[in-house]
Amino acid sequence: MKIFTAIVIALIVALVTTFAALSTADTTYGGWPAYILAINAASLLVLAYFSVYGWLRKDKYILGSILFLLIDAGLKLAMLPKTNSFSIFWGVAITLSGYGFSILAFGVIRIAYIAISTRSNPFNLPAKTK
């Protein structure tokens, strides 16, 4: 789990720096579209990371929060086809990045709680048998 965590963090940093470096300043939006693309890709990596972490550790709180966020995102994204393609793109971008940050905050708090309550490394804990 430690190596997987390091790989995900390195990928997030690489995504943000690469997309930011490759972005060309647009007269209307500046470099923000490239940053939003990097944030969306990082948010998807965060969702994938905590999905794998919750699945391997059988953590019902992390998996439940991901399920809640996916249901909420599905409902919000289902209402987007009533708009134009520009609004659909930005709606998907904002929805994905927002939920990635939410699960990142909850996941970090959950991992810290596990570390404090068990007084051990949460990445070394064996999966629950129940």
In a domain, 87, yes or no: yes
In a domain, 8, yes or no: yes
pLDDT in tens, 61-100: 988 988 888 888 888 878 877 777 777 777 777 787 788 8
Count the domains in the chain: 1
In a domain, 130, yes or no: no
In a domain, 126, yes or no: no
**pTM of the full predicted structure?**
0.72
In a domain, 72, yes or no: yes
Higher pLDDT, 29 or 58: 58
* pLDDT at residue number 26: 62
pLDDT bracket for residue 51 (50, 70, 90): confident
In a domain, 128, yes or no: no
In a domain, 37, yes or no: yes
| 125 beta partners | none
- Domain hosting residue 66, numbered range: 2-118
